[in-house]
Structure 1
Amino acid sequence: MARLRFSEEFLESLAGLDKRVEESVWKKLALVQGFPGVGSSLVEPSLRHAYGSACLKVVAEGYDVLYERGEKGNDGEEVVDVLGIVNQRAVR
């Protein structure tokens, strides 16, 4: 199981969401934690530019949750950096 590491941007964005969306985000991140490659690599170019070429996404209630698989830590545990949450309507 991977260790999740959260960016400040992600945490600030999460705090502004309603409870239903927040619950969906946590469910999706539980999947990512168990299977870090589960996300889609089909990320819009503007998001790739903002979050890096290696970012992946999972969808939660109309939001893209962006993350990147990190290197394994000293203990061999995989690290996943959760980068941000973006409303899908804002990207289009």
Structure 2
Amino acid sequence: MARLRFSEEFLESLAGLDERVEESVWKKLALVQDFPGVGSSLVEPTLRHAYGPACLKVVAAGYDVLYEHGEKDADGVEVVDVLGIVSQRAVR
């Protein structure tokens, strides 16, 4: 199981979403935590430019949750950096 590390941008964006969307995001992140390679590498160019070439995404209630594999921490646990959350309507 990986350890999730959240960016300030992600946390601020998540705070502005309704409860249903937030619940969906947490469910998807639990999946990412258990299986860090899950998700899609087919990230829109604007998001790849903003979040880096190694970012992956999972979809939650009409939002793209962007993350990337970090390095292992001092205890050897894989770290996943949760970078941001973006409305799919804003990207397309």
Q: TM-score range by the shorter chain?
A: over 0.9
| Shift in Å, 1:85 | 0.3
Helix, strand or coil for the counterpart of 2:17?
A: coil
> 1:1-92 residue pairs with structure 2 within 5 A?
1-92=1-92
- Gap regions ≥5 residues in structure 2: none
| AA matched with 1:49 | H
TM-score by length of 2: 0.99
| AA matched with 1:40 | S
Give RMSD over aligned pairs. Answer: 0.4
| Shift in Å, 1:53 | 0.2
Question: For residues 39-67 of structure 1, what are the alpha-carbon distances to aligned partners after superposition, in whole Å with 9 as ceiling and x for unaligned?
Answer: 10000000000000000000000000000
Displaced runs of 4+ in structure 1, greater than 3 A? none
Q: Determine the C-alpha separation between the residues in 2 that align with 1:9 and 1:21.
A: 17
- Count of aligned pairs: 92
Q: Determine the C-alpha separation between the residues in 1 that align with 2:2 and 2:65.
A: 16
How many percent of aligned residue pairs carry the same amino acid?
89
